[in-house]
Amino acid sequence: MSEIALQAVGLVRRIEGEVSHTLVNGIDLAVNKGEFVAITGPSGSGKSSLLYLLGLLDAPTDGEVIICGQPTSKLSESDRADVRLTKCGFVFQFHFLLPEFTSLDNVLLPMRAAGIMAEAEMRERGLALLDSLGLGEHANKRPNQLSGGQRQRVAIARALANRPEIIVADEPTGALDTASTEQVFSILRDIADKGQTVVVVTHDPALAARADRRIHIVDGKIAEITERGRAELVCEAAS
Amino acid sequence: MLTSSFATYNIISTITNEKRQDIAIMKSLGMRETSVRSIFIMEAAIIGIVGMIVGWAIGYALCYGWSQIKIYNALTGTNVPISIYYSPLHYIVAGGISLICCTGAAFFPARTATRVHPVEIIRGAS
């Protein structure tokens, strides 16, 4: 039986106000370790809201998010930050790199915040990550000296910095051209194939089709789940 | 002290307002509020230290200038300089108070800014 990396139990996110609005409405979901899951759905369906809940960026109104066996609903904001820092890596539609920092410094940021590694070890890992994503020669460049695809790859390197169990990506190819989109697709697929769990929100049917499982959200609820066998993916890669 | 505290408050308020997106990014990556807040308090402390050193220099120069002024002493019938008592303790106390005021004034805007919900900023930027 596969080990569950990320689980949502009865997840509800409601915004209270004069007119209350339910963004996520009772979602139950389990994502296995090393699985690549794509969350799709029309605009305003609640897919990004679900992703933010799964990545502990937002707190549910009701329900529970369990990350690597750890329930999170009763954690303090600081403890939730610690879980985000060590167990989740985030990639957003826009790179959200710190503009004053070089690529390497941006990648080092989560490692420095975690404070687990020595400076030399962090730099070595940061450079290795950038190198593995084809950005070795851009380590000392600032975001404004990089192309959109390169910035997004730096953001992926930053997400991988603390060796998180789960990579959470919100429309990671939404602002990229076709060639960069293909690169980011391949990197995310590769990350999942190496054993890390990847959950991606996307409008892109091509990216969703390459996921192990596609979860279609409508009005904050799961409308459809489409599973793809690993064998099919291997055949596709071979061809 | 009040004026410099207000100035620091305004500077840090402006900086944190400009850095709202960066604060949201750092929080989303998992940095604790206290860690993000400490960046801005450190920034204020650096402003305070620079101000303190400049203040010491100006204070010393003013005291020296003051000590060069001679006033007529009717009892002795001579012109005598104004007596200034120099003590490092005065500089340390004044510097310490200004540093506390500076970091204290920065704490409140930094706290307000770091309470920002990262999702609000990330959604706003998307």
Instruction: Report the range of poorest mean pLDDT among A198-202, A205-209, B34-38.
Output: A205-209
Which of A57, A76, A201 is best to mutate for the B interface (most B CBs within 10 A)? A57
pLDDT tens digit sequence for B40-83: 899 889 988 998 999 999 999 999 999 999 888 888 888 888 88
pLDDT tens digit sequence for A110-129: 999 999 899 999 999 999 99
Would you say how long chain A is, in residues?
Answer: 239
CA B86 to each of CA A232, B42, B68: distance values in angstroms, whole numbers, following the listed order: 84, 30, 14
CB pair distance less than 8 Å for A82 and B32: yes
Q: Is B22 on the interface with A (CB under 8 A)?
A: yes
* Closest by Cβ to A110, choosing from B29, B32, B122: B29
pLDDT confidence of B124, banded at 50, 70, 90? confident
CB pair distance less than 8 Å for A110 and B123: no
For position A234, what pLDDT does the model report? Answer: 44
Q: Which of A112, A154, A106 is nearest to A131 (CA)?
A: A154
pLDDT tens digit sequence for A155-205: 999 999 999 999 999 988 887 888 888 888 889 998 999 999 999 999 888
N- to C-terminal Cα distance for chain B? 42
Q: Is A16 on the interface with B (CB under 8 A)?
A: no
Q: Is the pLDDT of residue A150 over 90?
A: yes
How far is residue A84's CA from residue A88's CA, in Å, rounded to a whole number? 5
What's the token pair of residue B26? 């750092």
Q: Is the pLDDT of residue A232 over 70?
A: no
Q: pTM of the full predicted structure?
A: 0.82
For position A236, what pLDDT does the model report? Answer: 47
CB pair distance less than 8 Å for A93 and B30: no
Strand partners, B90: none
pLDDT confidence of B126, banded at 50, 70, 90? low
For position A1, what pLDDT does the model report? Answer: 55
ipTM of model:
0.82
Residue A219 is classified by DSSP as: T
pLDDT confidence of B123, banded at 50, 70, 90? confident
For position A185, what pLDDT does the model report? Answer: 84
pLDDT confidence of A229, banded at 50, 70, 90? low
pLDDT tens digit sequence for A211-227: 999 999 999 999 999 88
Q: Is B19 on the interface with A (CB under 8 A)?
A: no
Instruction: List, as ranges, residues 75-104 from B with C-beta within 8 Å of A.
Output: none
Distance from CA of A110 to the nearest CA of B (A): 7
Question: For B115, which residue in chain A has the nearest alpha carbon?
Answer: A77
For position A11, what pLDDT does the model report? Answer: 94
Q: Could you tell me what percent of chain A has a pLDDT over 70? A: 95
Q: Is B27 on the interface with A (CB under 8 A)?
A: yes
Q: Which of B47, B42, B43, B40 is nearest to B4 (CA)?
A: B47
Phi, psi (degrees; rounded to nearest 5) at A55: -90, 10
Q: Is B115 on the interface with A (CB under 8 A)?
A: no
* Closest by Cβ to B29, choosing from A78, A90, A94: A90
A94: which chain B residues are within 8 Å (Cβ-Cβ)?
Answer: 125-126
List, in order, residues 6 or more apart from A163 with CB less than 8 Å away: none
